[in-house]
Structure 1
Amino acid sequence: MENSEAQPDVSPSRMIDAKIEALGDWRGEMLARIRTLIREADPEAVEEWKWRGVPVWYHDGMICTGETYKAVVKMTFARGASLDDPSGLFNASLDGNTRRAIDFREGDAIDEAALKALIQAAVALNATRAGARSR
């Protein structure tokens, strides 16, 4: 399923489950942990499956993606450049005007409180933008 588009009879959440299982290594464990933290930070986040195998989380717009590569699990925040990052979590895609990312490598610890705060800030930013559009 990793390289297929969402199938009408398979939910995005199940496709993400299958991807985590298929990875079968530290990347699957890291993606699963990130997913749990997203759910804890924003229980209303909606999971989607985009671009031939990328988990994406939404709430009033895209929050972030969870891409897996050979050496990293990349958590890309759609509007990361607009977020305060007091803990310095962003360590990739730092040159653009919109996105920011966190590359997690094998053995990396996650600052869970800081990551949840960043997720919640992304959701709040989306809500602000959604409110502005509805006026």
Structure 2
Amino acid sequence: MNPEWRDARVEHIRALIGQAAPGVVEEAKWKKASNPDGVPTFTLDGLICTVETYKDKVKVTFAKGASLPDPAKVFNASLTAGTRRAVDLTESDVLDDDAFVALIQAAVALNQA
């Protein structure tokens, strides 16, 4: 397994978020000894999502994911959480870019409502 796949995945996700939400602000939050770089958070009129890197996956957690339409079934984690929903991506997973962009756009619209 190539450990750089996670960096490439995060960069791809970051690009999709920027494409979907011009004006989005990225900040590193929740820095700690085990994660000195912190967790990338993306906001536009409120929190949209966070992107966390684990040994075997990259997790994108949408703060208000339970309230977002997901006709393409992009969400595959935290499906029973009260408010949030997540997308777990392993090295071999294929992300539906258009559906992901639509989720980001829906999250921004919800923040702006």
TM-score, normalised by the number of residues in structure 1: 0.76
Correspondence 1:86-97 to 2 at 5 A: 86-97=71-82
Q: Are 1:127 and 2:112 an aligned pair?
A: yes
Deviations 1:92-112 (A, max 9, x none): 011111000000000211111
- Greater relative contact order (Cα < 8 A, sep 6+): 2
Aligned length: 105
Higher-Rg member (1/2): 1
Matches of residues 37-116 of structure 1 in structure 2 within 5 Å? 37-52=16-31, 53-116=38-101
Query: SS where residue 47 of structure 1 aligns?
Result: strand
Percent of counterpart pairs with the same letter?
57
- Unpaired stretches in structure 2, ≥5 consecutive residues: 32-37
RMSD: 0.8
Whichever residue aligns with residue 15 of structure 2, its letter is T
TM-score normalised over the length of structure 2: 0.90
Cα separation, 2, equivalents of 1:38 and 1:118: 10
Q: Which residue in 1 is equivalent to 2:34?
A: none
TM-superposed CA distance for 1:43, in Å, is 1.3
Structure 1: gaps of 5 or more residues: 1-23, 129-135
